[in-house]
Structure 1
Amino acid sequence: MDYEGEVRSSIKKRCKNCKIVKRKGVLRVICNNPRHKQRQG
């Protein structure tokens, strides 16, 4: 399993490179800065 990043109840973009994607019903933030990775759900 890949590293998920932070699990939060509300996720937001932290920089202009962050993207919010929905995968298998889980919202995630993917970014080229690994500290910005988050997921919800």
Structure 2
Amino acid sequence: MVSYLVSALGIAGEAFRYQQSRMGIAALALLMAYRPARLRS
């Protein structure tokens, strides 16, 4: 029972970290796409 809880928590942590990294990558891509457009104008 306890081991099941621990593994479930671990899976939730992994999913959360993956979501965070995906958000970070998306924000970085948006920033890189936005900066040249602002420099051009």
Superposition TM-score tier, normalisation by shorter sequence: under 0.3
TM-score (norm. length: structure 1): 0.15
Larger relative helix fraction: 2
Give 1 or 2: higher strand fraction.
Answer: 1
Greater Cα radius of gyration, structure 1 or 2? 2
Q: TM-score, normalised by structure 2?
A: 0.15
